[in-house]
Structure 1
Amino acid sequence: MKKVIEVRNLYKLYRVGDEVVRALDGVDFDIYEGEFCAIVGTSGSGKSTLLNMLAGLEKPTKGEILITGQHIEKMNEEQLVKFRRENVGFIFQSFHLMGTMNAQENVALPLSFQGIPRNIRMKKAEEMLELVNLKQHKNHLPNQMSGGQQQRVGVARALVVDPGIIFADEPTGNLDSHTSEDVMRLMQRVVKEQKKTLVMVTHDNHLASYADRVFHIMDGKILKIEDRRENE
């Protein structure tokens, strides 16, 4: 199996007053192509810091992060922006949809940053909405959709740029448990059908159980990596 993400000896130290806080304390792991991985831990465990590092949104104090063979910890801001645009999709807890745009326009938005012509953008956005079973809502504004529908628009938007890797930060944090299950099943399906690598951060052990592998993190260290595929 091909390694997509390699993390070596990763540290993130913060100074808080006179104390040094180790948000990440020597983390090592690999994530493979087409894998759904969940990073699970309580608030303050280091899971969000870890996701931000993988996405190149924060720099490590020391250590290496290779994504598709490229050292992202060595990139400058300009290189990182380009790298994210070409390789990564994001799904956020708070949807981040534009209120004045309909579902299709919201999904097409990342493509406009790539300078893709409008007719192609809209066609691709429609295909992605079909993938997440929302084609019939393509003309709806966010406030005309339920939370679960909005998050499925968020999933479609992450997929529209055809990224190899998707990062999801508490993607069901604003949804009720039934809707959360629907979104998790959708994400599971997308990973398999589209052969994407998905890395999700969550505090919820039950939601983490949808992943192929679960990384349990506490006090900036990975305590154990649980392979769900072996259990099934």
Structure 2
Amino acid sequence: MRLPYNYKEDAVRNIICVNNLYKLYRIGDSAVRALDGVSFCIREGEFCAIVGTSGSGKSTLLNMLAGLERPTRGEVVISGRHIEKLKEDELVRFRRENVGFIFQSFHLLGTMNALENVALPLTFRGEVRKTRMKKADRMLELVNLGKHKMHMPNQMSGGQQQRVGIARALVADPKIIFADEPTGNLDSHTSEEVMRLMQKIVREQGRTLVMVTHDPHEAEYADRVVHIIDGKIVRIQENRRDSENENK
């Protein structure tokens, strides 16, 4: 099967490619196609938004890209590896070494302060406490929370908690960050701040960020927008990447 966007020639730039991706769920005697032949690529260092309404298949697609669900059929190639072929322990290791996650519900541990929450992924990698805390401190400074590092989650606003979540996603130096409705629990003003922060991180650090959202306005912060309806990509939109767009 031929991958889109001239995958072979552009492999250095494309960090993620999916080809002819299907996901079928059985409901009684019928089958529901959550993904229906999806093919596209995401470039290295790109901010890509996947936009669709509830039930469009966007979250299923994100789970496929992150290796959290296996496709019924098709290919998911990340950094040259077919992750749909990896065993479960290989997938866990792959995510730990290459991927960071930002969640809608923050998922911070209430018994840990901001610094400890950010350092948590490094614990699973076996790094010593001193190194973990130093890296976590640097990430909190990056998201402008240096003065809040000893605060517990219940002492921080929703926006501050999400910034902690972003710092935690970055601390292990992942190649790719997946964000699932990252502003879903925030007010509009705080949502704008979080979106600008994520855009800045992509620009300044060369991260690849893949975000799922139902909000077309938030998708304007992305370099490219994949519109999905009923499990099919209906349009891929290129956004302007200039100083005006970056500073809004």
User: TM-score range with shorter-chain normalisation?
Assistant: over 0.9
The 1-side partners of 2:13 and 2:214 are apart by 28
Structure 2 runs not aligned, ≥5 long: 1-11
Q: SS of 2:225's equivalent?
A: strand
The 2-side partners of 1:145 and 1:218 are apart by 37
Candidates 81, 84, 87, aligned match of 1:76: 87
Whichever residue aligns with residue 162 of structure 1, its letter is D
Question: How far is 1:29 from its partner?
Answer: 0.4
Q: SS of 1:148's equivalent?
A: helix
The 2-side partners of 1:4 and 1:87 are apart by 11
- Number of aligned pairs? 232
The 2-side partners of 1:98 and 1:135 are apart by 19
Matched, 1:43 2:54: yes
Whichever residue aligns with residue 153 of structure 1, its letter is V
TM norm structure 2: 0.92
The 2-side partners of 1:138 and 1:102 are apart by 7
Matched, 1:192 2:199: no
Question: How far is 1:230 from its partner?
Answer: 6.9
Candidates 203, 213, 217, aligned match of 2:224: 213
Q: In the TM superposition, what whole-angstrom CA distance separates every residue of 1:25-78 from its partner, at most 9, and x where no partner exists?
A: 000001011000000000000000000000101000000000000000001110
Identical columns (%): 75
The 1-side partners of 2:88 and 2:153 are apart by 31
1:15-164 correspondence runs (5 A): 15-164=26-175
Q: What's the counterpart of residue 223 of structure 1?
A: 234
The 2-side partners of 1:141 and 1:58 are apart by 32
Whichever residue aligns with residue 57 of structure 2, its letter is G
TM norm structure 1: 0.98
Q: What's the counterpart of residue 25 of structure 2?
A: 14
Question: How far is 1:193 from its partner?
Answer: 1.0
Whichever residue aligns with residue 72 of structure 1, its letter is I
Q: SS of 1:200's equivalent?
A: strand
Q: What's the counterpart of residue 6 of structure 2?
A: none
Structure 1 runs not aligned, ≥5 long: none
The 2-side partners of 1:22 and 1:133 are apart by 42
Whichever residue aligns with residue 229 of structure 2, its letter is M
The 1-side partners of 2:193 and 2:70 are apart by 34
Question: How far is 1:129 from its partner?
Answer: 0.2
